[in-house]
Amino acid sequence: MATTVKKAVIIMVALATAVMALAVIAVSVGFFGKPIQYEIAGPYQGWVTVIYENPHCQTLGTDGVYLVVHVDETGNGCSSSPIPQGWRYTKFVRISKDGKRTTLVSSSWASEQSRMIWAGAVMTPQGGYPHMGEIFFIGTADQLKDAWSRQPIPK
């Protein structure tokens, strides 16, 4: 019986070590990255465009473990940092003028009535457009349906 328990412990330790090694490899090659927090100014609703690798913009900020992407009151964000790569936890926070922070629901598991973040996409440099970027929509499902024709296209 003691031999069986000893074998089980050895197997469990080996499996735990393998999982930890895979996690370290995944993080080191960029498969996982720091979580991202998008900070949206004021009551903005509509299409958001975030441009990366623009030397005229600041680098991404940090807040604890989060990389921070600032989105202004017109729905625009800009950073000289490269676009974050790999799988990441993502959080969207609305910041009112008085500093109050409200987390916006972004999960596709959420109901249409509570979800506020939709249609995320990555833009790549092409057709003369020089920067990486991303777009997403802030609003209700009905507002998104009305806004498809106004989806931003980089110039």
Q: Are 150 and 56 in contact (CB under 8 A)?
A: no
Report pLDDT digits (tens) over 116-148. 888 888 888 876 667 889 999 999 989 999 998
Residue 27 reports pLDDT greater than 80 = no
pLDDT tens-digit readout, 75-123:
999 999 999 988 999 999 999 999 999 999 887 676 767 788 888 888 8
C-alpha span between 155 and 144 (Å, rounded): 22
Name the token pair of 28: 């080191």
The pLDDT of residue 50: 95
* pLDDT value of position 31: 59
User: Tokens for 21?
Assistant: 């090694």
Stronger pLDDT, 64 or 114, i.e. the higher one: 64
Rounded distance between C-alpha atoms, residue 60 and residue 62, angstroms = 7
37 bridge partner residues: 68, 91
Q: What separation in angstroms does the CA of 38 have from each of 31, 60, 93, 135?
A: 20, 10, 6, 12
Q: Is the pLDDT of residue 22 over 70?
A: no
**pLDDT at residue 25 is higher than 60:** no
